[in-house]
Amino acid sequence: MAAATRLFAERGYDRTSVQEIVEASGVTKGALYHYFGSKDDLLHEIYGRLLRLQQDRLDTFACADAPVEQRLRDAAADVVVTTIDNLDDAMIFFRSMHQLSPEKQKQVRTERRRYHERFRALVEEGQQHGVFSTATPADLVVDYHFGSVHHLGSWYRPDGPLTPQEVADHLADLLLRALRP
Amino acid sequence: MAAATRLFAERGYDRTSVQEIVEASGVTKGALYHYFGSKDDLLHEIYGRLLRLQQDRLDTFACADAPVEQRLRDAAADVVVTTIDNLDDAMIFFRSMHQLSPEKQKQVRTERRRYHERFRALVEEGQQHGVFSTATPADLVVDYHFGSVHHLGSWYRPDGPLTPQEVADHLADLLLRALRP
Amino acid sequence: MAAATRLFAERGYDRTSVQEIVEASGVTKGALYHYFGSKDDLLHEIYGRLLRLQQDRLDTFACADAPVEQRLRDAAADVVVTTIDNLDDAMIFFRSMHQLSPEKQKQVRTERRRYHERFRALVEEGQQHGVFSTATPADLVVDYHFGSVHHLGSWYRPDGPLTPQEVADHLADLLLRALRP
Amino acid sequence: MAAATRLFAERGYDRTSVQEIVEASGVTKGALYHYFGSKDDLLHEIYGRLLRLQQDRLDTFACADAPVEQRLRDAAADVVVTTIDNLDDAMIFFRSMHQLSPEKQKQVRTERRRYHERFRALVEEGQQHGVFSTATPADLVVDYHFGSVHHLGSWYRPDGPLTPQEVADHLADLLLRALRP
DNA sequence: AATGAATGAGAGTTCATTCAT
DNA sequence: TATGAATGAACTCTCATTCAT
């Protein structure tokens, strides 16, 4: 999975052959297919790993004992940090999701929606308590933020001027500022 | 190109065969290769079309005779509208850019950077005039907004509750609100 | 097709690889797949050739201007001769039919049934005219004869003591003798 | 063996994987290979079972104390009944014999020939006693009948109008009628 | 007696591209 | 300008069999 992750991130899912994966990981094709039913499966497992991680962390932050502004800020920043920390997985996720088989795609989308909705609930909570502006529908706000998260792979470089935490703080700050009443 | 655009958007660049393109468009392989040097070329042309369109429009908005807040708001909204109006092209662009040959990718990235910089200049202009907060580096602000534009293909549906213009207004509004000092 | 026919007859459909076919015939895989959609198709074409040949000949014999005993005898002998003359095709047919895709199998079975029914009509005609015994249902009679035709590949050898015509005469004679009232 | 028999009959020997056999029978690959040396062996065992059964029964009928016409009729009918009763085994036998390894094929053919010769001896006996016509060589007569037996799998259906015994009687009758002087 | 992970060769098929016409 | 047959490398996946445990 590590080899596959690296290769998928490097050249894309379709451009990576099973042959290359087994060569990079030092196993045989037979062994790979003994554990993964298909190339698709491999991709799906990579997704699952990241999805579960982020879902768990979001749950933790959302349920924390703190004002909603703080919880949203923490969650918004955390998704940025974990995305950067797993940038390979994340890029594969965002780019290759639509290359999964239809049924697997549906499954992923369902899980993704759960994540989106948990996040949206935080925004709505703040809007109901009057600490966030209601000028923009909560759904749109969430997509706005997630857009910037998906986009990280396009510009973030580990050797750039900002640490992951700094980027995260900036992006969370932008979100919170945009939500000021 | 119309057929190729539709197919690329539908199933992705790698999953679309030249055979399918020529069948969908009613031409022959030979004819296609007479006009386009390669499948890559076709993709590159589709990019070029959208890139030129958006660059032109950005130039128009940025050079308009209006306060910088207005100019940024208009530009930010416009890129949303033209992206939605050309959602197929845009999705191909965002998803398949990394599947171009390295040299074509470089060329695209160069043009993309010009676009990014034009946009950033607007943000910096506002920051220098004190109408935008300087809390966040202008680069990050631009990436924040572009992130949401790239993300449109993941959630925007023509039959959804919002018109393209409404989405654009909301997203531009979020940007401007985030930039309030 | 000639190379495929020979190889299929020699080692069976499943045991013959596309690689072997293209090597034996001096074409490339690409060329083969340009003309035949699949390995299945190739088999189906071989079937078709023999089926059409035998159907045509049966039609000719069945419609001839002669007493029904003569027409049945001629048809029964002819199917033996053409089967021996195309023993490779025939053996492939009898052995590999069930290895076709379900839909192709259905198509073949439909054509095969037409052939069977044309033959059965001859038997029934003789039975109605009282020149053939009605002790056995016509369907069974036809299957009895076809059984011996299918079986030819299991024992007939070109260098054996009997010519194809002699075999055919004997088998047709057995059929006609069995049908004596 | 029961699972293998069913699967081989259903989809053919080559189309059935060892994996499918072990899954269908609830054993493991290791266990299967502990008892059978190879997939080939499995097929060979299935053959052996039917071959021994039919050989035994033929011996019984051929040595009975009855006129040769009766003995041949009984034997000819019996092979039909036991073939229908073991139609799966029989179909595998007729279709897959040529997929055995050359040496196993030779062995099977030798046993098959013994069976054929025992049957032929009956025909010759009747011919020498003048109760069967000598118009057709005994070998051919036997092949004629065996052909119809092999063919049973192509058309006989348990839910059809005829019971196995009725089919057997009809086919034996056709044989005996064909042999009338 | 039994396991099941691992092998590695080979299966059928697809593909972007070329080129003689 | 346009054809479409031909290429040949690469693709994903399957398989009977082995063997350390």
Q: pLDDT by residue (tens digit) across D93-118?
A: 888 888 888 888 888 899 999 999 99
Q: For every one of its 181 residues, what pLDDT tens digit does chain A have, with 9 covering 90 and above?
A: 888 999 999 888 999 999 999 988 889 998 999 999 899 989 999 888 899 999 999 999 999 999 999 999 999 999 999 999 999 999 988 888 888 888 888 888 999 999 999 999 999 999 999 999 999 999 999 999 999 999 999 999 999 999 999 999 999 999 999 999 8
Residue A1 lies in a domain: no
Is residue D28's beta carbon less than 7 angstroms from any atom in nucleic acid strand E? yes
Tell me, yes or no, if B150 comes closer than 8 A to chain A by beta carbon: yes
Inter-chain touch C133–D177, beta carbons under 8 Å: yes
For residues C11 and B168, the model is more confident at B168
Q: Which residues contact A44 (CB under 8 A, 6 or more apart)?
A: A100, A104, A107, A108
Q: Which of D161, D153, D163 is nearest to D10 (CA)?
A: D153
Measure the N-to-C terminal CA separation of chain A; round to a whole number of Å: 46
Q: Which residues contact B119 (CB under 8 A, 6 or more apart)?
A: B58, B62, B75, B142, B145, B146
Residue B144 lies in a domain: yes
Chain C interface, best mutation among D175, D177, D180, by max C CB count within 10 A: D177
Chain D interface, best mutation among C112, C115, C123, C154, by max D CB count within 10 A: C154
Distance CA A170, CA A164 (A): 10
Q: Measured between CB atoms, which of A14, A133, A173 is closest to B136? A: A173
Tell me, yes or no, if B180 comes closer than 8 A to chain A by beta carbon: yes
Q: Which of A27, A32, A30 is nearest to A43 (CA)?
A: A32
Residue with tokens 């080692």: C11
Inter-chain touch D171–C135, beta carbons under 8 Å: no
Neighbours of chain B (3+ CB pairs under 8 A): A
Contacts 24+ apart (CB under 8 A), D61-70: D62/D118, D62/D119, D62/D121, D62/D122, D67/D131, D68/D122, D68/D125, D68/D126, D68/D129, D68/D131, D68/D132, D69/D126, D69/D131, D69/D132, D69/D176
Is residue D66's beta carbon less than 7 angstroms from any atom in nucleic acid strand E? no
Residue C150 lies in a domain: yes
Chains C and D: how many Cβ contacts under 8 Å?
Answer: 89
Q: Which residues contact B168 (CB under 8 A, 6 or more apart)?
A: B76, B77, B78, B80, B81, B84
Residue B63's pLDDT band (cuts 50, 70, 90): very high
Domain count of the fold of chain C: 1
Residue A143 lies in a domain: yes
Q: What is the pLDDT of residue A100?
A: 85
State mean pLDDT over C47-51: 90
Residue A31 lies in a domain: no
Inter-chain touch D151–C151, beta carbons under 8 Å: yes
Is residue B33's beta carbon less than 7 angstroms from any atom in nucleic acid strand F? yes
Least confident of A14-18, A144-148, B132-136, C165-169: A14-18
Tell me, yes or no, if B154 comes closer than 8 A to chain A by beta carbon: yes
Separation in Å: E8 C1' and B10 CA: 37
User: Is residue C133 classed as helix, strand or coil in its secondary structure?
Assistant: coil
Q: pLDDT by residue (tens digit) across C80-95?
A: 999 999 999 999 888 8
Domain carrying residue A82: 39-179
**Alpha-helical segments (H) within chain D:** 2-11, 18-25, 29-35, 39-62, 68-85, 87-96, 102-128, 138-155, 164-179
Residue A24 lies in a domain: no
Contacts 24+ apart (CB under 8 A), C58-62: C58/C115, C58/C118, C58/C119, C59/C118, C62/C118, C62/C119, C62/C121, C62/C122
Q: pLDDT by residue (tens digit) across D53-106?
A: 999 999 999 999 999 999 999 999 999 999 999 999 999 888 888 888 888 888
Residue C156 lies in a domain: yes
Buried b (16+ CB within 10 A) or exposed e, C23-50: eebeeeeeebeeebeebbbbbbebbeeb
Residue D23 lies in a domain: no
Q: Which residue of B lies nearest to A95 if distances are taken between CA atoms? A: B95
Q: What's D84's domain CATH number?
A: 1.10.357.10
